[in-house]
Structure 1
Amino acid sequence: MFPRSIRTTLLAGAIGLLCLPLSGHAQARNYPDKPLTFVVPFGPGSATDQLARAIGQGVTEQTGQAVVIENKPGASAMIGASDVARAAPDGYRVLITTNTSQSANPHLYKKLSYDPVKDFEPVTLLGTGGQIMVVNPASPAKTVEDFIKLAKENPGKLSFGSGSSSSRVAGELFQQMAGIQLLHVPYKSNPLVITDLLGEQIDMMMADMATGLPQVKADKLRALGVTTVEPSPLAPEVPTIAAAGVPGYQMGYWFGAYVPANTPEAVVSALHDLLVNATTRTAAQQFYTQTGTQPVTSTPAELADFQKQETEKWGGIIKNAGIQPS
């Protein structure tokens, strides 16, 4: 029998434990028992936004819980990433993002408002994709070589817009490898770039396929090339940029899901299973098919390793492109 003082201490401790929040495993058993929010660090209509909505629909089909899409564009995805980094670590606020926030930004900015590694728990990869080089149909450039010739005749006068680091670095790498000088115009999100390109306010954009290809199919923009190694099956008539005038050129991007650091492992695991399953459902499959995005998923550990490798890769691309951190 314990002495009375120890019995009192143990009783107090037991009462205290009852007052503690649910453990990770208990949380996971009940998760999700309320609506989730997917934070997208880009604007409505962007590829990330479209994927988040498709994945959200798949999660709702599995759980019966609503998934709210919250767009927080700006500052090269830093606003949205910072929002989730500061959120409660309970699995209900999820960052659906790209290499922009998690791999490229550390090399593009001297100071970030979040730490891409320490502030998050990786959940899963959601896909990989390529980009398409587009101009307004009124542009005299009908091929990649035409655009390069035009840029060399007008150094620093032609512009390219970007609403993500992927889009920006694709454009910066293009001008570096093509030996031309372009004016970079930053935007909060890629759909805003499309709007100004349609209005002839800028001259060129490296758009994600989900944003740019529909405009090409509607004859509102002209495609000059794709950034992938092989032509896209969605637009086989569009050559690769490497084959069309810039040998060796290649760029791409990836999507991933993250939650705040210290989210219980059991909750991360439960969310992981929901997201991976969502990628196989109708809405997500339609997104992948219609945008030429490759459905790719991973374990949390695999995403962490992949992010590390990608951060090193993007650092090399950015350095070689001569981009100075701002």
Structure 2
Amino acid sequence: MRTGVPLRQESLVTPLRLPSLIGCALSLALAAGAAFAQTGTPALPPADEREPIRLLVGLPPGSGVDRISRVFAEALSQRLFRPVNVENRTGARGNVAGEELARSTPDGNTLGVVTATTMILNRHLSRQMGYDPQADLTPISRFASLPLLVLGGPGQGVRTIGELIEVLKARPSTCGTPGAGTAQHLALELLIRSVGARCDFVHFRGIAGALPELLDGGVQVYVEAAVIGLPLVREGRVRLLAVTSRVRSALLPETPTVAETVAGYEAETWLALMGPRGLADSVLVKLEAAAIAVARDAAVVRRLRALSAEPIGGTRTELAATIRAQDSIWGPVARAAGVTAD
């Protein structure tokens, strides 16, 4: 029997050569680039970078800081392609949220909105903090400032900040604030000390308690955040004398600053995005860029100004410099005021 030589069976699949693989990869890359050019939508980050971010806020739901933080969180979520969920951790003038942030894992999944009070004032007013905000937190971006208003009663005859200063210097006066050791209190302390006046401070539980005293002249001046004071100004119930920021506010361009009368004066509170100590540079750079873009977005600017906040969009380097500079100012003022938060 003849044994036939078996025929070699050819593969039905032709192996891809290296040049072919490279060509396929280039084609896919070009196609992806074309899709991005047409849609303007970047590729989504990996799944582990789309986990929700916890954004700790130290004031209660519905407060001015909370509402501003939620506007920021919504826009930040859109920039990062990740949910950003606000979690209110109230208590101890923001220290409860600050301490939880300081103790969180530095992976970028837990961040916080920190105020100037938490970042600077509390260090000088409280001896029982469980962390050091300037050592244990990482600056990312200062995204909004909250102008403070110098207010007087409409029936007191004082129409300008200069006239108010003359009254304060002429005789001991009564000055009102929404609480001892607040940014409003220390802003007024700084003004009094800057002009060499004297003032008996009365600390009310909000402007509602101070309003009758302002109206009948029992209190000559009251300092309050714009988000609270502006509605009363617009209703004509109090008189706006000045803003405490270094330059005029875009919210109130016709209102002079205190600094136009008292050279070098500046007092404001602000909100900043912070992380725990030890954030990786790659995470930090991404968060900083997103936060700056959010604060400079036209729609966000409109929404923040509707809440009486001024968008900033500062870098982490600028935020760190602001913290150092303001700490050197407010530390001595807080100590001289003799108040504690304990």
Q: Same fold (TM over 0.5)?
A: yes
Pairing 1:79–2:96 present: yes
CA distance in 1, matches of 2:124, 2:186: 11
Unaligned regions of 5+ residues in structure 2, if any? 1-44
CA distance in 2, matches of 1:173, 1:155: 16
Displacement of 1:96: 0.7
Match of 1:254 among 252, 266, 270: 270
Q: Which residue of 2 aligns with 1:114?
A: 131
Q: Cα gap change, 1:313/1:64 in structure 2, threshold over 3 Å: closer, same or farther? A: same
**Pairs within 5 Å for 1:106-185:** 106-135=123-152, 137=154, 142-144=159-161, 155=172, 157-162=174-179, 165-178=182-195, 179-185=197-203
Distance apart, 1:170 and its partner CA: 0.3
**Alignment partner, residue 300 of structure 2:** 284
Corresponding residue SS for 1:82: helix
CA distance in 2 between partners of 1:183 and 1:264 (Å): 46
Supply the AA of the counterpart residue of 2:198. Answer: I
Which 10-residue stretch deviates more, 271-280 or 301-310? 301-310
CA distance in 1, matches of 2:299, 2:48: 22
Alignment-mate amino acid for residue 328 of structure 2: E
- Offset of residue 181 of structure 1: 1.6
Secondary structure at 1:118 match in 2: helix
Residues 1:324 and 2:328 are matched in the alignment: no
Shift of 1:184: 4.4
Gaps of 5+ in 1: 1-27, 188-192
Cα offset, 1:258, TM superposition: 1.0
Q: Is the 8 A contact 1:151 1:182 kept in 2?
A: no
- 1:55 matches 2:72: yes
Q: Alpha carbons of 1:70 and 1:211: their partners in 2 closer, same or farther (altered >3 Å)?
A: farther
CA contact (8 A) 2:171 2:198 kept: no
Aligned-pair CA distance for 1:110: 3.2
What is the CA distance between 1:116 and its match in structure 2?
Answer: 1.1
- The Cα offsets for residues 210-239 of structure 1, whole Å up to 9 and x where unpaired, read as 333243224344312211344434334433
Query: C-alpha offsets along residues 38-66 of structure 1, whole Å, 9 cap, x if unaligned?
Result: 22223445553333122111123234543
Quote the residue 2:209 is aligned against: 196
Q: Distance in 1 between matches of 2:110 and 2:328?
A: 28
For 1:183, give the aligned amino acid: F
| TM-score, length of structure 1 as denominator length | 0.72
AA aligned to 1:253 is T
Task: Report if aligned partners of 1:136, 1:197 keep a CA contact under 8 Å in 2.
Answer: no
- 1:295 matched to 2:312? The reply is yes
2:71–2:304 CA contact under 8 A, matched in 1: no
Is 1:274 the equivalent of 2:287?
no
Q: Rg: which structure is higher?
A: 2
- 1:313 paired to 2:329: yes
Query: Equivalent residue for 2:320?
Result: 304
The CA deviation at 1:115 is 0.7
3-state SS of the aligned residue for 2:134?
coil
Contact 1:162 1:206 in 2 (8 A): no
- Indicate how the Cα distance of structure 1 residues 263 and 150 shifts in structure 2: closer, same or farther if over 3 A, else same: same
> Normalising by the residue count of structure 2, what TM-score does the alignment of the two structures yield?
0.69
Match of 1:207 in 2: 224
Say if 1:186 and 1:207 are closer, same or farther in 2 by CA, change over 3 A: same
Identity of aligned residues (%): 23
Provide the rounded CA distance (Å) in 2 between the counterparts of 1:135 and 1:287.
Answer: 28
Which residue identity is paired with 1:249?
Y
Q: Which residue of 1 aligns with 2:12?
A: none
